[in-house]
Amino acid sequence: MQIFLQQFVNGLTIGAGYALVAVGFTLIFGVLRVVYLAHSAVLVVGAYLGLFALDWSGSIPLALALGTVGAALMGLVVERVALRPVAGQNHLISLVTTVSIATVIQETLRLSVQHGQPISYPTGAAAVLLRFHLGGIELHLTVGQLAVMVVTLVLVVALTLLVQRTWMGRSIRAVADNPTIAAMLGVRVKAVSAQTVAVASALAGAAGVLLGLTLPAIDPYVGEHLQFKALAVVLFGGLGSVPGAVLGGLLLGLVEALAAGYLETSYRDLFAFAAMVLILTFRPAGLLGRRPVERV
């Protein structure tokens, strides 16, 4: 029971991270309908900015703020440079332009910050171990892990409110539903696309800082494997579905942590892909996907 609960909590933290990245991905897929692979690069920009902020001030909230805002701005640059010029081209072109800009961003970081060597976040507040007593069971949680859960919860709630309750959110949903009709009704599709990438990138930036707080070290390519898993989550959660991405991310984190706690296996990185193949075989639209994946 002790192990189970502890792994459950650990799994929630890992899953929260997946969810945060996957939510942004699914938002971009749903609204812009492009293959977007620059998310890991934007995340890393957030992680490095958080690192600088933390080195400079020691304040975790400031690091989060800087990472989030900086990544959102980076997202705007990515949209302008890699997506807008090739709007309307087939999926391969956006895949290649986003991979290209991601390469440029990551290589620039590698060449300019300590030759790409892994850098640790300053150990301090984030590593402090908290103990919780729950009916005789003691659970351990670092401040960093707690931050991951709290920040993810806050951001997902904020995103849901933004999408469901604001005018911008309404425009985003309209474009996701049908860009042509949205444009005819006066929605500025290009602006909405840019806003969507910025919002998704902000989430990735926050995820980057949180990753820095929980991982031993970060490097320019630290987001790459996370990006692959988040893509699998997006696909089996249901392409374009925000609740699907959150659910998928949390489930994946839990399964990975529980498996690691009991099975002592290093294969847990495979779960994301196995789940994707299994779920898509039986539910091609994913767990919470509504429409068919894409009309041929």
Partner 1 sequence: MGTGSLEAFATIQLIYLIAALGHYMPLSMKQLDVGIAGYFALGAYVSALLTRDWGVPFELALLAGTLAGALGAVVVDALATRVRLAGFAYAIFSLSFAEALRIILNNVSAVGGSGGLVGIPAHTTLPLVAGLALVILVGFWLFDRARLGQLKTAIGDDELIVPVMGVPLVATKLTIFAMGGGLGGLAGGLYSHYVLFIRPDDFGFALLISLQLPIVFGGLDRFYGAVAGILILGCVPEMVRGLADYRLLFMGAATLAVLAVRPSGLITHATVATVKRWLGLPSGGAPRRAVTGVPAPTVATAAGPLVVDGICVRFGGIAALDGVGMTIPTTPGISAVIGPNGAGKTTFFNVLTGLIRPQAGQIRLEGRDLVGLRPDQVFKARIARTFQGVRLFSHLCVYRNVMLAARSATPDGALARARAERALAAAGLDQAAWGLPPDRLTLLDRRLVEIARGLAARPVVLLLDEPAAGLNSAEKERLGALLGHLAEAFACRIVIVEHDMKLVMSIAETVWVMNFGRVLSHGTPEEIRNDPAVIEAYLGSEAAHA
Place of tokens 């707080």: 213
- Nearest approach, Cβ of residue 196 and partner 1 (Å): 16
Give yes or no for residue 112 binding partner 1 (CB under 8 A): no
CB 190, min distance to partner 1, A: 16
First-to-final CA distance of the chain: 49
Binding of partner 1 by 43 (CB under 8 A): no
Q: Looking at 2, 89, 114, 166, which residue binds partner 1 (CB under 8 A)?
A: 89
Kindly state the smallest distance separating residue 133's Cβ from partner 1, in Å.
37
Three-state SS across 76-127? HHHHHHHHHHHCCCCHHHHHHHHHHHHHHHHHHHHHHCHHHCCECCCCCHHH
Q: Build a one-symbol-per-residue string for 216-235: x at contacts with partner 1 by CB under 8 A, - elsewhere.
A: --------xx--x--xx-xx
Among 58, 61, 85, 124, binds partner 1 (CB under 8 A): 85
**Closest CA relative to residue 30, chosen from 196, 229, 258, 219:** 196
User: Nearest to residue 272, comparing CAs of 292, 290, 254?
Assistant: 254
Give me the residue label for tokens 């990245």: 21
Footprint on residues 240-269 left by partner 1 (CB under 8 A): 266-267, 269
Give the nearest distance from C-beta 1 to partner 1 in angstroms: 29
Of 211, 248, 240, 283, the residue nearest 45 (C-alpha)? 211
Q: Does 47 bind partner 1 (CB under 8 A)?
A: no
Q: Which residues contact 262 (CB under 8 A, 6 or more apart)?
A: 3, 7
Rounded Cα–Cα distance for residues 224 and 89 (Å)? 25
Contacting residue, 3, 263, 270, 291, with partner 1 by CB under 8 A: 270
Residues of span 190-209 touching partner 1 by CB under 8 A: none
Residue 19 C-beta: closest distance to partner 1, Å: 17
Question: Which range, of 45-53, 79-87, 126-134, 249-257, touches partner 1 by CB under 8 A?
Answer: 79-87
Does position 54 interact with partner 1 (CB under 8 A)? The reply is: no
> What's the CA gap between 277 and 253, in Å, rounded?
17
**The residue type at 4:** F
User: Where does this chain bind partner 1 (CB under 8 A)?
Assistant: 29, 33-35, 81-82, 85-86, 89-93, 95-97, 99-104, 107-108, 111, 224-225, 228, 231-232, 234-235, 239, 266-267, 269-270, 272-274, 276-277, 280-281, 284, 293-296
